Amino acid sequence: MNRFLTTQELYDEVRGRLELNWPGAPEGAERKIEIGEGRQRRPSLVGYLNLIHPNRIQILGAEEIAFLDSLPAATRRTTVQRIFQPQPAALVLVRGIEPPEDLAARAKRSHVAIWRSSKRGHDLLTYLQYHLARALAPRTTLHGVFLEVYSIGVLITGEAGAGKSELALELLTRGHRLIADDAPEFTQIAPDVIDGTCPDMLQDCLEVRGLGVLNVREMFGDTAVKRNKYLRLIIHLGPTVADGEQDGLKRLYGDVASHKVFDVDVPRLVIPVAPGRNLAVLVEAAVRNHLLKSKGIDAAQTFVDRQAHTMKRQRTW
């Protein structure tokens, strides 16, 4: 099911930031603003007045009003009808411009909201595009603990009782930050960007077996929590594999694969859990290694290349 906002909900969320006012009786408050099937972006959700590909929210500035004023009376009536024919969610007049009488009358008959703002059209356009892209983006919940480790978003997953929360607690004591425990929400805000946040109900909370629910902000301070972070790495706590059953390549490169979240392949590393292993150190090392790989430095591949070079030299002797 597509996510949507009503005109009233959007107005309530951005009115303070964009200095909006809604003169007269609220018209069209329940109109839906949503992304069409297949995430169609044309027509777009918000933009300057466009009669060919009408936007759900049409922005009118001095240039657009001057264009309407330049039209002959008959053409102007037809143009005003075309503005409201696709039933936009709202018209926004910028820089405090008063809506022309014919535009206001037509909006009232069509039950379309007319908002006014003292800000520039460009400011409204960029902020509304950003706000709607985040609010209407696809969203999912993944089970695990989402943390910021060395400046990147890391989701720690594993079976129940694998020690995810204890590991998160250890990482917090080492200066890393919690975003969400148990049920972080992930949103695709760009073709290759997954943003993770915490549901309001779980904000600042970490549940540790034997200790119950802990308030991380109160225990470690404001710097121990973060509102959101892009998901860059998944670390899965898995069972220990016997040496004879382990793939030789995994000993070189690690148990690395990818996990698809929406349309994005996120690197996924499996760390075996065993008594005596310092998982916090292993996670920190995994994150550091991931950062090096993102810069083109792959220790395992360098070792393989060295070995191949040595074997080639030995054959030539």
The β-bridge relationship of strands 228-239 and 264-273 is: parallel
Distance CA 146, CA 93 (A): 42
Name the H helices within the chain. 7-18, 62-69, 73-84, 101-110, 121-135, 164-173, 216-220, 248-253, 279-294, 299-316
Three-state secondary-structure class, residue 300 = helix
| Among 18, 33, 192, residue whose Cα is nearest residue 43 | 33
CA–CA separation, 44 vs 50, rounded Å? 10
Q: Do residues 187 and 194 make contact, with C-beta atoms less than 8 angstroms apart?
A: yes
Among 104, 121, 122, residue whose Cα is nearest residue 113: 104
Query: Please, which residues have CB within 8 angstroms of residue 54's CB and are 6 or more apart in sequence?
Result: 43, 83, 86, 88
Tokens linked to 85? 């024919």
Locus of tokens 């915490």: 198
Work out whether strand 212-215 and strand 205-208 pair parallel, antiparallel, or are unpaired: antiparallel
Total Cβ atoms within 10 A of residue 243? 7
Q: How far out from the chain centre does Cα 52 lie?
A: 30
The angle subtended at Cα 191 by Cα 188 and Cα 193, nearest 5°, is 55
- What is the set of active-site residues? 143, 164, 182, 251
Q: Which two tokens stand for residue 27?
A: 């018209």
